[in-house]
Structure 1
Amino acid sequence: MVHLRIVAPGEIADKALELLCAAPAVTNVVRLPGVAHKPEGDLILCDVAREDASVVIGDLKDLQIPAVGSIAVEQIDSSISDVAKAAERAAHGLPSDAVVWEEVEARTSEQTELSFSFTVFMVAAMQIAAVGIILDQPILIVGAMVVGPEFGPLAAICVALVRRQGHLARRSLVALAVGFPVATAVTLLTTLALVAVGAFPEDYGTHEFTNFISNPDFLSFFVAVVAGSAGVLSLTSAKSGALVGVLVSVTTIPAASNVGVASAYGEWDAASGAAQQLAINLAGIVMAGVITLAIQNHDFVNRRRRHLENRAREGR
C-alpha cells in the first residue's frame, strides 16, 4: 500500500474526496477541513493499493492540486486491515510488479545532481579500482563497483527517455559527462604519482584476473544488458538488494579507471580496450533500461486509459 497526504483548497478538496471515495483501490480516506495553513486548505489522507497508485495520483494531478497544494507519497511497510486487503484485491496486478512512477522519478532525480559528493564517490571508486588493477585483485574491483555512484544517472537517463523529461536527461548527462572524465584524469595523475614514489610498479605488467576490463567481448554487452534491466527493475520495485548485485555486475568504473591507469603507463592498447569496455557497458545498460521501462510504462498507459474510460462511462 501507498499512503497519500493531500493538501488542497476546499472546492478542489471536495472533488478529490469524491474521486478517492469512488476508487475501489483506495481506503482509509480521512479529510481534515481547514487544518493546512501553508498553503491554506484541507488535508486529505488515504491509502492506495500500490498497483493503482500512479493512476489515482494522475487523477489528482488532473485537478491541478500540485499547482495550488501538494501531494506527498509515502510507502506503507505494513498495514493490518481487511479493508486494505480488499482495496489491494480491487487493483489489477501484483504489488511486487507495480510501479509508482512518481516514486521512481523522485528517486532517480535525487541521484542525478553533479554534486561534490557525486564527484568524490566517482574519484574514490576509481582509485580503488586502480589499485585493484595494479595488484590484480578482483575483490578490490568489486569494491570499486559498489562505491561507484554512476548507476543513478544512468537509470535517470532511462526514466527521462521513457517519460520524456528533458531536464532530467540533461542533468544526468552532465553528471556523467563531467564525473567520468574528472575521475579518470585524477586516476591518471594518482597513478603517475604512485609510480614516482615506488608504490606502483614501473611496468604495467600482466593482469590475469582483471584482464577482462580491457578486453570487451559479446559477454560484456550481454552482462551489461542483463544488469541494466535488473537495475531498473530493482528501482521500480524498490528492491535495493537486487541493485547491489547489479552494481557488482557492470564494468563501468573499473573500465574508466583502467583508461587512466593504462594511459599513465603508456599502454594505449589497454586504454583503448578499457574505453571500449566502458562504452559497451554504458550503451548496454541504457538500452536495456529503456526497453524495460518502456514495457512497464506501456502497461501503465493502458491501465490509465482503461481507468479513464471507466470513469467516462460512469459519468465521473
Structure 2
Amino acid sequence: MRLVQLTVPTGKRETILEALDEREIDYVLTDEDSNREYAAVVYFPLPDPAVEPVLDELQSVGVDEDAYTVVVDAETVVSRRFEELRDEYENGDVETDRISRQELETEADDLTPTFGVYAIMTIISALVATAGLLLDSPAVVVGSMVIAPLIGPALGASVGTVIDDEELFKESVLYQAAGIVLAIAAAAVFAFVVRTTNVVPPGLEIDMVGEISERLTPDLLSLVIALGAGVAGIISIATGTSVALVGVMIAAALIPPAAAAGVALAWGQPSAAIGATALVMVNILSVNLAGLVTLWYAGYRPESLFSLGETEQRLRRRIVGLGVIVLVFAVFLGAITYASYSTGTFEQNAREEVEQVLSEDDFTEFQLLEFEVVMDENYPFLGPDRVVVTIGGPPGSSPPELADVLYERINRHADDEVDLEIRYVDVVER
C-alpha cells in the first residue's frame, strides 16, 4: 500500500478532485498557504498497482513535474472503499505486484551511490576478493561480494532504457565500465605487490589454487548465474522487496572473476586472464539483457505514449545487440566447456587403460598407486600435457615394455601427443 501526497496547482483543484472521485479514491485535502503557485495538498491511499495509472491520469489533467508528489509506504488502511479499490487493481498477474514506474526510477537512483563512493567501494571489494582468492578462502570471497556496490548500475541501465531515461542509462553504463576497469586494475596492482613482497609463497602457481583456477577456465553454467542475477535483481526492486541478497548475487558474477583476471595479470600470465575477463564481460552483459527483458515483461513503459514507439525500437535494438554479443561470448564459453569435457573424458579413459593394462597377465605383479593428468598452459582452452602414473611393484622391477604399452594405449584417447611419466615404487609385502 502507498500513501500519495500531492501538491495541487492553482486552478486545478476541482479537476484533480473530480479525477479522484471518479476512481472512488478516498482523500484528505488541506489548504496550502505558502504563497506559491499551489492551492492545496491532497493525501490519498492507493494499492501498489494503482499508483502508476493514477499518477499518469493526474499528470494528464494538469499535475506537472514541478509539483511535489511524494509516495510513501502505508502500513494499514482501514476503509471499505479502499478494499474495493484494491480488488479493482489487484488481479493476480505480474503487473499487480510491481511498484510504479515513478518509484522504480527512484529505486534505481537510490541504489547508485556517488561516483566517489562507488569507486572506493568497488576497489575495496576487489582487494578483499583478491586476498580471498590468493588465500583460497570462499568465505573471504563471499565477504567481498557483500560490500560491492554493483547492483545499482547493473540494473539502472535497464531501467533507464525501459522508462526512456537516457541520462540514467548513460550514467549506469559509465559506472559499469568504470567498475570493471577499477576492479581488474586494483586486483592486479594488489596481487603484484603481494607477489613481489613475498607475502605469498614465491613458488605459488595460481592454477593450483581452486578459487582462482575455476574462474580462469569458466564454462556455460556461468551464464545461468548472470541471467538469474539480472532477473532476480529487477524483480526485487520492481516489487519493492529487499535487494541486498540479490546485490550479493550480482557481485558474485562480477567481482571474483575480475579479481582473478587481475591476479593472472600480476603473475605475468595475460593468456590466463582471458577466460576470467570474458567471464566478467558475459556476466555484466547478461545481467543487463535479463533486466531489459524482465522489465518489459513486467509492463514498464515510458511516461509519454508518444515516446512509446521510439523507446520500444530502442529497447529492441539493445536487446538484439546484447543478445548477439552474449551469444558470441556463449560460444566462447561453450568452447571452454567442451575443452574441459574433452579433458575429463581423456582422464577417465586414460585411467581405465592403465588399470586394464595392469590387470593383464604380464603385469599382474604391479598395481596402480597414483594417477595424475598434468595440464598445459594454453589458457583458457586447457588440455592434457603429461600423464604421471605411479606404479608399485616388486623391488628392482621396472619392465620397459610396460612403459611402451601404457604410452601407446593412453595416446589412443588424446587428440595431440601426450607425454607419459612412470614412477616405480618398490612394494615389499611381509
TM range (shorter): 0.7 to 0.9
Task: Please point out which of 223, 229, 232 is paired with 1:230.
Answer: 232
SS of structure 2 residue aligned to 1:124: helix
- The two structures have a TM-score, normalised by structure 2, of 0.64
Q: Size of the alignment, in residue pairs?
A: 298
Which deviations, in whole Å up to 9, do the C-alpha atoms of 1:217-240 show, x marking residues without a partner? Answer: 211012211121011100101111
Partner of 1:31: 29
CA distance in 2, matches of 1:85, 1:270: 60
CA distance in 2, matches of 1:200, 1:21: 72
CA distance in 2, matches of 1:39, 1:262: 62
SS of structure 2 residue aligned to 1:244: helix
| 1:294 matched to 2:292 | no
Partner of 1:256: 258
CA distance in 1, matches of 2:271, 2:138: 21
CA distance in 2, matches of 1:68, 1:251: 40
Query: What letter matches 1:247 in structure 2?
Result: V
CA distance in 2, matches of 1:232, 1:68: 28
Partner of 1:309: none
Change (3 A) 1:51 1:42: same
CA distance in 1, matches of 2:36, 2:214: 57
1:73 Cα deviation after fit: 1.1
| 1:2 matched to 2:2 | yes
Contact 1:137/1:210 (8 A) holds in 2: no
SS of structure 2 residue aligned to 1:279: helix
SS of structure 1 residue aligned to 2:299: helix
Contact 2:151/2:247 (8 A) holds in 1: no
SS of structure 2 residue aligned to 1:65: coil
Matches within 5 A, 1:42-61: 42-61=40-59
Query: What letter matches 2:51 in structure 1?
Result: A
Partner of 2:150: 150
Partner of 1:308: none
Query: What letter matches 2:280 in structure 1?
Result: L
CA distance in 2, matches of 1:42, 1:239: 33
Which deviations, in whole Å up to 9, do the C-alpha atoms of 1:234-264 show, x marking residues without a partner? Answer: 01011116x5045236420111122212111
1:50 Cα deviation after fit: 0.8
Which deviations, in whole Å up to 9, do the C-alpha atoms of 1:129-157 show, x marking residues without a partner? Answer: 10111111111221112211112111011
Query: What letter matches 1:283 in structure 2?
Result: L
Query: What letter matches 1:30 in structure 2?
Result: V
CA distance in 1, matches of 2:20, 2:214: 55
CA distance in 1, matches of 2:254, 2:31: 52
Rg: which structure is higher? 2
1:36 Cα deviation after fit: 4.5
SS of structure 2 residue aligned to 1:11: coil
Deviates more, 1:67-76 or 1:101-110: 67-76
Partner of 2:182: 182
1:37 Cα deviation after fit: 4.5
Identity of aligned residues (%): 21
1:210 Cα deviation after fit: 4.5
Identify unmatched segments of 5+ residues in structure 1.
Answer: 305-316
Contact 1:138/1:210 (8 A) holds in 2: no
Partner of 1:214: 216
Query: What letter matches 2:136 in structure 1?
Result: D
Which deviations, in whole Å up to 9, do the C-alpha atoms of 1:183-236 show, x marking residues without a partner? Answer: 322222122222233223333431224533222221101221112101110010
Change (3 A) 1:185 1:99: same
Once superposed, which parts of structure 1, at least 4 consecutive aligned residues long, lie more than 6 Å away? none
Partner of 2:399: none
CA distance in 2, matches of 1:204, 1:39: 70
CA distance in 2, matches of 1:63, 1:204: 68
Identify unmatched segments of 5+ residues in structure 2.
Answer: 306-430
Partner of 2:91: 93
1:114 Cα deviation after fit: 4.8
Change (3 A) 1:178 1:245: closer
1:21 Cα deviation after fit: 1.9
CA distance in 2, matches of 1:71, 1:32: 15
Query: What letter matches 2:191 in structure 1?
Result: T
Partner of 1:313: none
Change (3 A) 1:201 1:85: farther
| 1:73 matched to 2:88 | no
Partner of 2:248: 247
Contact 2:223/2:283 (8 A) holds in 1: yes
Matches within 5 A, 1:16-27: 16-24=16-24, 26-27=25-26
Deviates more, 1:225-234 or 1:93-102: 93-102
**Coordinate RMSD, CA, aligned:** 2.3
Larger helix proportion, structure 1 or 2?
A: 1
Contact 2:258/2:276 (8 A) holds in 1: yes
CA distance in 2, matches of 1:39, 1:153: 37
Contact 1:204/1:267 (8 A) holds in 2: no
CA distance in 1, matches of 2:154, 2:66: 33
Partner of 2:128: 128
CA distance in 2, matches of 1:192, 1:210: 15
Query: What letter matches 2:265 in structure 1?
Result: S
1:96 Cα deviation after fit: 6.3
Contact 1:142/1:248 (8 A) holds in 2: no
CA distance in 1, matches of 2:18, 2:169: 37
Deviates more, 1:112-121 or 1:34-43: 34-43
